Structure 1
Amino acid sequence: INDREIEPWDPFLANESATQILQKTRLQMNGVEIEVEPFILPHHSKISKKKHDAAAGPHGWNAHQGFYVYRNQRLLVAGEWLGLGWAKEEHYKLARIRINLPNDLDHDWGIDVTKSRARPPIELKEELRAIGNHARSKAKRVYSYRGAKLTNQADVERVLLWESLAKHDKVFYRINREHPLLKQALTKSSDKPALNALLRLIEETVPFPNIAINNSENPNSAPSPFERVPDGQVTEVMEEAFESLVATGYSPGEAANRLRTIWPFELFPALIQSLVEQKSAR
């Protein structure tokens, strides 16, 4: 334009290795096929700042979450939840879902002559809502767990230190007493009541207001686990968890495999492998 080269915008970061491309769904309507493909974009720690800033789009990350509706390769809607019952929220900003429409469904999708808006027909809303729910759930996990790619198997086996509990329309966070490190600490403690009291105090004083304000004002300020921490210090914590697992009856091989499912050690596969080799050499 005006002799200036315009750089294209890829809202899906499809070529980034940390982007999760979920299963494509083909919906049928009036004998016509509609392709729906969800993308879970990477946590900001997984890509460069330049790419992260570019992927935000002209109106920012929150504004561009949701469905992207294309008609014959032309973008009509650049991030909307299409009236399916969701607001644009920080935790879901990494979810972007591409819908490819043919040009003979304009009336059904409420596409007017300006080709600038679209609304899904009622017969497709439940299927789109299911796809959206799945993508939003995945996006929230990546946002919350600082970019970890989660498989279905990992979801079942992962060990987290913090657990969420919904009660009376509120969400509470509790420390997982079955976490290997904590379980071992409780077993060895000479003053279990004091330790349990400390854990309960930590749970009851999670600084929700400060966290909410910080996330709102600077959503990318939260560090990843062990960010900028030397490998040696990460390994020290990891080794304690390994020994705790062995102490509870795991074989060294089983303990190593279990370690790979404990958050956030799963982010450091090379350190786990190095630790296992070190233990095997003894």
Structure 2
Amino acid sequence: MRAVGYSLPTAISDVADNSIAAHATTVNVLFDGSAEDPYVAILDNGWGMGPESARSAMQLAGTNANEQRDAADLGRFGLGLKTASLSQCRRVTLITKRGGVTTALSWDLDVVEESSGWSLLVHEEGELAQVPHANDLLAQEHGTLVVWTKLDRLLGEEHDKGRYLDSQMELVRAHLSLVFHRFLTGDASRRVSIQLNYRELRALDPFLSKSKGTQVHRSETVNVGDERVEVQAYTLPYINRMSKREREDATTHGSLRDSQGFYIYRAGRLVVWGTWFRLTPKNEMGRLTRVRVDIPNSLDHLWSLDIKKSAAVPPTVVRNRLRELATKFVEPSNRIHTFRGRKAVDTTGIVRTWSVVEDRDSTRYEINRGHPALQQLFDALPSGGTGLLEEALLVIESTFPVQDVFNRMSNDVPVNQAAETPVEQLLDALVQSWTLTGKSGDPAKFVDMMMGSEPFNILVEYRGQALDRITQSSTEMDNG
């Protein structure tokens, strides 16, 4: 039973599920690895339990997995509290308070071994003074406290137990911030404050739903009998448009590429994430795609939900529909990555700096000789100089570091492009290009022509400033 496969983050999440199901508004994960008897505790202000319910909660498989549950119930098999706790420790104590009555029970594996039987320990209230944070619970009107001691599996033979537990709790922080992010923000119908040693966690939103650059697509519904599965797709902003924190939030699986796919929620709680269920392959072009799938707990039996609530397989009817939608979901990310968001057929009228040339079996990039800035340079050079310029352009094209750019972007390293060139630098380049024309013609027409090409198209709102600089440059040359 201890070898089900819980990690510390998944074990704590499983206990927190019970707190949220009991309508707690605050769940506090408390720990001290430097104490004489190191411990981990989960304290909530939920409804609490009476004596009979507490005994049932400590009974293995005390709840029938096939019973109809409340829509907000995050439990499933009636095993989570016991299996999650004992996967990390040899002693788990449950103290719960409801209607002025406090009940305290413990499973201690040393006692189980000595007695050769499942002997549940029952504590009197006067015995609780030595239990970490028991007084905090007793001061509340209602709630539940779960305490893990004898942390053999968690701490093992670690020499510096305090430092080790601190490091493990950083993993717990990230996990809880993601798995319960919709409760932390109140998006899961009600808000729950989840704390780590009294410090509230920040929601980690994998969809960057508050970002102006995130595209929210039309939602879909899949009917399974009388139940509904809600599907909502998101396309994240291009990586260069993300802040550092947004990039961290978006990389739930270590990289943007590995984090793409379906995010399965059960009653608002994230269960599985970063997978396409083999319905479509993961690739670089789809790395900005995230698809939220909301399933009711009444469909648990069809989703093959495991004990840890960390794995699920969609039923056939849902799987078939998701397969149909998967390609459509990835397409917006595909367009964003196609030459910096350029559509396959560019209808913007902007003259591009680079041209994509598709051969039969390959693709290459060429500098657009028809770009206005290059045209000005070609026209300004003597006949012998144009050949040298053409040779230089060929060298630049042949050494374009495609593989290096690919490697860096695969590791989610932002690669700055001309679109990020400072405005001042672009204005200076515009004036220099005007100088190459010999300052002939209409400055306004010149500025409009250049602003119809990359990268000068981002200067449209600075048109007046550009004209002033060109006029000033011409005046200075005339006076010189």
TM-score with structure 1 setting the length: 0.72
1:265 equivalent in structure 2: 456
Q: What do residues 10-37 of structure 1 show as CA deviations (whole Å, max 9, x unaligned)?
A: 11111123x2223323245457463322
Q: 2:328 aligns with which of 130, 135, 154?
A: 130
1:6 equivalent in structure 2: 201
2:264 equivalent in structure 1: 69
How far residue 56 of structure 1 moved from its aligned partner, in angstroms, is: 2.5
Q: What do residues 209-232 of structure 1 show as CA deviations (whole Å, max 9, x unaligned)?
A: 44444445x6426334375x6643
Pair 1:180-2:372 in alignment: yes
Of structures 1 and 2, the larger Rg is shown by 2
- CA gap of 1:251–1:232, structure 2 versus 1, over 3 A, is closer
2:349 equivalent in structure 1: 157
The answer (yes or no) to whether the contact 1:160–1:179 under 8 Å persists in 2 is yes
Q: 1:203 aligns with which of 363, 376, 397?
A: 397
The answer (yes or no) to whether the contact 1:165–1:173 under 8 Å persists in 2 is yes
The answer (yes or no) to whether the contact 2:305–2:313 under 8 Å persists in 1 is no
Q: 1:26 aligns with which of 204, 217, 220?
A: 220
Q: Distance in 2 between matches of 1:79 and 1:250?
A: 55
One-letter amino acid of the counterpart of residue 222, structure 1: V
1:222 equivalent in structure 2: 415
Listed as ranges, the gaps of 5+ residues in structure 2 are 1-28, 31-194, 476-480
- CA gap of 1:51–1:214, structure 2 versus 1, over 3 A, is closer
One-letter amino acid of the counterpart of residue 370, structure 2: E
Pair 1:36-2:232 in alignment: yes
- CA gap of 1:72–1:222, structure 2 versus 1, over 3 A, is same
How far residue 238 of structure 1 moved from its aligned partner, in angstroms, is: 3.2
The answer (yes or no) to whether the contact 1:35–1:101 under 8 Å persists in 2 is no
- How many residue pairs align between the two structures? 267
How far residue 236 of structure 1 moved from its aligned partner, in angstroms, is: 1.6
1:194 equivalent in structure 2: 388
Q: Distance in 2 between matches of 1:153 and 1:277?
A: 35
How far residue 67 of structure 1 moved from its aligned partner, in angstroms, is: 2.6
How far residue 269 of structure 1 moved from its aligned partner, in angstroms, is: 4.9
Name which of structure 1's ranges 169-178 and 54-63 shifts more when overlaid on structure 2: 54-63
Listed as ranges, the gaps of 5+ residues in structure 1 are none
One-letter amino acid of the counterpart of residue 193, structure 1: G
The answer (yes or no) to whether the contact 1:68–1:99 under 8 Å persists in 2 is yes
How far residue 151 of structure 1 moved from its aligned partner, in angstroms, is: 8.8
| Aligned residues with identical type, % of pairs | 22
One-letter amino acid of the counterpart of residue 280, structure 2: G
How far residue 235 of structure 1 moved from its aligned partner, in angstroms, is: 0.6
The answer (yes or no) to whether the contact 2:235–2:332 under 8 Å persists in 1 is yes
How far residue 102 of structure 1 moved from its aligned partner, in angstroms, is: 4.5
Q: What do residues 34-73 of structure 1 show as CA deviations (whole Å, max 9, x unaligned)?
A: 33222323524542x3443344236333321223233432
The answer (yes or no) to whether the contact 1:66–1:81 under 8 Å persists in 2 is yes
How far residue 161 of structure 1 moved from its aligned partner, in angstroms, is: 0.9
Q: 2:280 aligns with which of 85, 88, 98?
A: 85
One-letter amino acid of the counterpart of residue 225, structure 1: A
1:121 equivalent in structure 2: 319
- CA gap of 1:185–1:27, structure 2 versus 1, over 3 A, is farther
Q: What do residues 178-202 of structure 1 show as CA deviations (whole Å, max 9, x unaligned)?
A: 2111233233332333332332232
Q: Distance in 2 between matches of 1:24 and 1:86?
A: 22
How far residue 157 of structure 1 moved from its aligned partner, in angstroms, is: 2.6
Q: Distance in 1 between matches of 2:446 and 2:266?
A: 52
- CA gap of 1:45–1:238, structure 2 versus 1, over 3 A, is farther
One-letter amino acid of the counterpart of residue 34, structure 1: E
The answer (yes or no) to whether the contact 1:92–1:139 under 8 Å persists in 2 is no
Greater RCO structure (CA 8 Å; 6+ sep) = 1
- Secondary structure of the 1:256 match is helix
The answer (yes or no) to whether the contact 1:181–1:244 under 8 Å persists in 2 is no
Q: Distance in 2 between matches of 1:266 and 1:46?
A: 22
How far residue 264 of structure 1 moved from its aligned partner, in angstroms, is: 2.9
- Secondary structure of the 1:156 match is coil
Task: Please give the root-mean-square deviation of Cα atoms over the aligned residues, in Å.
Answer: 4.0
How far residue 9 of structure 1 moved from its aligned partner, in angstroms, is: 0.9
One-letter amino acid of the counterpart of residue 121, structure 1: R
How far residue 165 of structure 1 moved from its aligned partner, in angstroms, is: 2.1
Q: Distance in 2 between matches of 1:223 and 1:127?
A: 33
- Secondary structure of the 2:348 match is helix
Q: Distance in 1 between matches of 2:450 and 2:324?
A: 38
How far residue 237 of structure 1 moved from its aligned partner, in angstroms, is: 1.6
How far residue 167 of structure 1 moved from its aligned partner, in angstroms, is: 1.9
- Secondary structure of the 1:157 match is coil
